[in-house]
Structure 1
Amino acid sequence: MRVKEVADIAGVSVRTLHHYDEIGLLTPEKTTNAGYRVYSDEDLERLQQILFYKELGFPLKKIKSILQDPSFDRKEALEWHRRILLEKRRRLEQMLSLVEQTLQQEKGEITMTNEEKFQGFDFTANPYEEEARKRWGDEAVDRSKARVEEMSENQQQAMAEEMNAIYQKLAGLRRLSPSSPEAQTAIAEWYKLLNTFGNYSLEMFKGLGQMYVEDERFTKNIDSFGEGLAFFMRDAMEIYADRQK
């Protein structure tokens, strides 16, 4: 298929497809002698994956990094997209219901209790817990939660401050190679800290780093300390885990 046909099917502009080609995100399999781009079925599958990530708010640079990762698995990615989108749909339906009830109250049709006014909001749930349970099992997650719950409020605050300090340290090193002595020393501190309330094997530590870039919630939070930090930590954690084996 040529670029105009692909643009029409995918609902994107020809200019967008040209841009994806220019930055190496989606380079068509073939180009005719006249210079026309020709897209294969595999190219269309890659475009679909790009648009899935784009819909979830991923910047193009991160999408490219994810798709070029040798460990990228299309089926796993699609299952992840489905989980995230179902959760977003659930939250949106909950919020929509709350808005509709609030409008009814404004019109005098119903009276809401104070509890009902806030039933659509939930800031207490850990958005990463379900994913962690799927990857490492209930026992490992429950053990980590129990250790945190055993801490006093002051201890939890101190731990949070220490975590933020390491994030800031790593953010200051992210322009270096993740294999550099400075980066590896800092990531070793991260591994040690995580094991004060968890029981992370080297493989789990390595897998956690991968979650930092696969899950946009992780990426957004970590990159608030410095753009690109999530990917830097992923690479540093992988190197550290492999070296310690």
Structure 2
Amino acid sequence: MALRYYYTGQFAALAAVSERTLRYYDRVHLLSPSHYTEAGYRLYSEQDLARLQYILALKFLGFSLDAIRECLQTGPQRLPEMLALQKAMLNDKRAQMDLVIKTIERAEQHVLDGEESHDWEPLVQVIRVMQMEQQNDWQNKYFSPEQRAKMEEISQSAYSEEARQKLAARGPWTEADQQRADEQWGWVFSEQRRLIAAGADPASTEAQHWVSVRRDLLQQFTGGDPALAAGLGNWMKTFSELPESERPQPKLGPGIPLMSDEERIFSKRAEEIYTQQHGEY
């Protein structure tokens, strides 16, 4: 029986995803087409569809792309453990939503009682406490209290008062911010390892694309601000000088890997070539 293949548009319609999603999954090495036509068009197979459905199922359950990539690489061995962790996270969210609903019900009763003087301060206070708890809850999934204290200590020494004020003005770092950073930087770290393992030339198109993405992410964080750029450099220097046992690595996500000598040489050479072609930041 002949294998059936689908062009990108056909495959996207079949799987109910956008072509942009397929291109992104290919770029971050989650799902690549099985074949290409002589003209270079992508061709997807039934096996690709099964893999995509697995990816979409895990994404629906709230898994990050890095966690999905790990599931794909390790197979079903770690899936029960990761499902249990995701279930615990969802139970926490359900408990928070139950608290929100009870708070709303109390507010409704407050209005229905028809009191002339509405004292909303208790309700406002509850909302503030809930927001603080939600912030702490997601951070506790990534870091222990000791790790969070260590990261705060590093930040206090790395960033100037001016830089800390600018970071504070952006508002709190949310779980969505953390997940987005995990996905973006997870690709940067894994792509660098892949390029080196493949013996890629630092001047190659792929390596220069890697430099471009890495620079864009750094630019997004610093906004080109010298104080933030200096603070980030100080933070990474301090972090790298800590004994390995004292480095606060997250329980979820790709972590903060330190480059090997080979990775450092590759990165430096690729950056030099990029700078020669495009200039400084």
- TM-score, normalised on structure 1? 0.46
Rg: which structure is higher? 2
- TM-score, normalised on structure 2? 0.41
